[in-house]
Amino acid sequence: MAIRNIVKKGDEILNKRCKEVKEINRKILELLDDMAETMYEGNGVGLAAPQVGILKRIAVIDVGDGLIELINPVITETEGEQIETEGCLSIPGVYGKVKRPQRVVVEYLNRAGEKVRTEGTGLKAVCICHELDHLDGVLFDEKVIEFVELDNDEKENE
């Protein structure tokens, strides 16, 4: 496992649409491992492959209830709405309120190549939406309703 460099806003790779993963090979598994390590190192709750310079539809999430590795994720259900403050490891120091669904269902392949689904509410729903946006080249600051200043102890990075 290795910590990878996080691509920062301004690099056009963050604005590109990622390609589907065709085969879950050793390189993909290594990428998943590295992304998780990089996310934890950055105290993030999510990280998408383009943030480490790879244009593939892969993201990792951990909002405190365990690591989820998403390959070719698709949101299949949404419900309600919430407005919460988000941040992003690719846009350090910037935080803002974004409107997201309160609940989402996401279908994806796990590392074994099995099609699985996960439901997320609250922060987990926010995180799933934020990371999937990255896979379509969309950064959260484009969706911010209001930018906010946060104290250090309140920060959480996606």
Please report whether residue 156 would count as binding Ni ion according to CB under 5 A: no
Residues 4-63 within binding reach of Ni ion (CB under 5 A): none
Token representation of residue 78? 């949404």
Q: Single out the residue of 59, 88, 127, 129 in contact with Ni ion (rule: CB under 5 A).
A: 88
User: Looking at beta carbons only, is 62 or 158 nearer to Ni ion?
Assistant: 158
Q: How far is the CB of 25 from Ni ion (least distance, A)?
A: 26
Provide the pairing of β-strand 103-109 with 95-100: unpaired
Strands (E) across the chain are located at 46-48, 58-61, 68-79, 82-86, 95-100, 103-109, 115-121, 146-148
User: Looking at beta carbons only, is 69 or 158 nearer to Ni ion?
Assistant: 158
**Whether 131 is catalytic:** yes
Q: Of 77, 69, 65, whose CA–CA distance to 123 is shortest? A: 65
User: Looking at beta carbons only, is 32 or 129 nearer to Ni ion?
Assistant: 129
Q: How far is the CB of 77 from Ni ion (least distance, A)?
A: 22
Residues serving a catalytic function are 131
Positions in the binding site for Ni ion (CB under 5 A): 88, 158
